[in-house]
Structures are given as structure tokens and as C-alpha cells.
Amino acid sequence: PTPSMHMLCHQAPVIPVLVIKDLAHAVPLAEALVAGGLPVLEVTLRSAVALQAISLMVRVPGATIGAGTVLNPKQAREAKQAGATFAVSPGATPPVIDCCEDLDLPLLPGAASATEVMHLLDRGFDLMKFFPAAAAGGLAALRAFGAPLPQVHFCPAGGLSQENARDYLALANVACVGGSWVAPAQMIIEERWGEIRQLAHQARQLGNH
Ligand code: 3PG
């Protein structure tokens, strides 16, 4: 059965946002993050090898792999074909939403304003990515959404860190957070898997609430 986005967002406090440029990094990176306690991973479709990376990472025991930066139906179909369990988009368009529905691919669509949240509510979403979180108003914006839109939960991403994630996770309308800080580009390039496992472990300790 297809897991719901709600279930996926409650697996861990942080969904690592990954940019994988070398296919050889895909499996050890996923293994390090899972070992550190972060099983749900977002592989962004921003690199040439991203789809191949997803198809390798889905076989890592304990890992649940989603495709991030899904901007159009073609990418949604490719993500599904590669084995992705879910899709994440920085925003939301009717074609992407329709396509993910057709594919039975859970989607975490992005919203940054009340109008965007309302459009997604109309489409049946009550869990969405808040992007770009820090730039679009951060904690204050999320807290303010909670008054007129208390039924909506968010996964804020964009500008989060180990230091500020705890404050986001403390909000009643935050289900989990997304961020690249647990897998910094330089650490991936240098294959420092032990340090990435440590960063994941620290992020896991943030707790969902
Ligand atoms: C995303 O796609 O969610 C963002 O690029 C993640 O933002 P960050 O790199 O600031 O964590």
C-alpha cells in the first residue's frame, strides 16, 4: 500500500535534502543517514545522476526515498519509475498535482503564502512544504498561518539548521522539517560518512515534538 505523506513526515524530525553529483556516493550516503536515525530522504532532481541515485538508494535497508525538486509531470513519472516513494516540489502546479495523483505517488507540495495554502487545501492537501521557509517569514509566518489555517501542517525547508530546527519543530503546525545541513556538499565530496551519520544522529535527537 502507498504510505501517506503524513506517515512519512512522522518517521523522523528531519528529512535530509540531498544533492548527489557522483553516483558512487548514493548508497553510502543513504546508509549513513539511515544509521544516524533519518530514514526518509529527499533526493533532489538537480543533478544528472539523481534518478539513478534514487534507483540505487531504494534498496538500502530501512531507507524511504523521495524525489525532490519535482517541477513537472515528466519528472514525477521519472521519479516513480526510479522507485521513489514520494515526491517533493518547491511549489505546486496543477499538472504536477494531477500527475502525482494519477501515479499514486504521494506528493509534498510547496506553499509560501495563504493563497497557495488555500489552493492546496482545495486540492485535498493538509500537509505541505513551507518553502523557502526562512526567507518567506520563518517561524513568525508559520505561527501566523496557524490561526486561520489550523488544519494545515507544514514541513518547512530552506534556510534551516541544527540550531533553528528545534524552534520550528516546537510549533503545533510543523510535522517535520527539511534541510541540507545534515549532508553538506563538501562532506559528501570528501566521503566523510561517519560525520554525516553524526549530523543525522544529532538531527534525530531534535524529536518531532
Ligand atoms: C530544499 O530544496 O528544500 C532546499 O534547497 C533546502 O534548503 P537548505 O539547503 O537551505 O536546507
Mean pLDDT of 159-165: 97
Amino acid at 26: A
Q: Which atom of ligand 1 sits closest to the CA of residue 159?
A: 10
What's the gap in Å between 112 CA and the centre of ligand 1?
14
The number of folded domains in the chain is: 1
For 94-110, the pLDDT digits (tens) are 999 999 999 999 999 99
| Catalytic site residue from 74, 129, 163, 195 | 129
CATH number, residue 136: 3.20.20.70
Alpha helices for 24-113 (secondary structure H): 26-36, 50-57, 73-82, 94-103
- Sign of the alpha-carbon torsion through 181, 55, 131, 3: negative
What's the gap in Å between 94 CA and the centre of ligand 1?
23
Q: Is residue 190 assigned to a domain?
A: yes
For 61-91, the pLDDT digits (tens) are 999 999 999 999 999 999 999 999 999 999 9
Question: Domain range spanning residue 154?
Answer: 5-204
The predicted complex's ipTM stands at: 0.91
Residue nearest to atom 11 of ligand 1 (CA): 179
Q: Is residue 209 assigned to a domain?
A: no
What's the gap in Å between 157 CA and the centre of ligand 1?
6
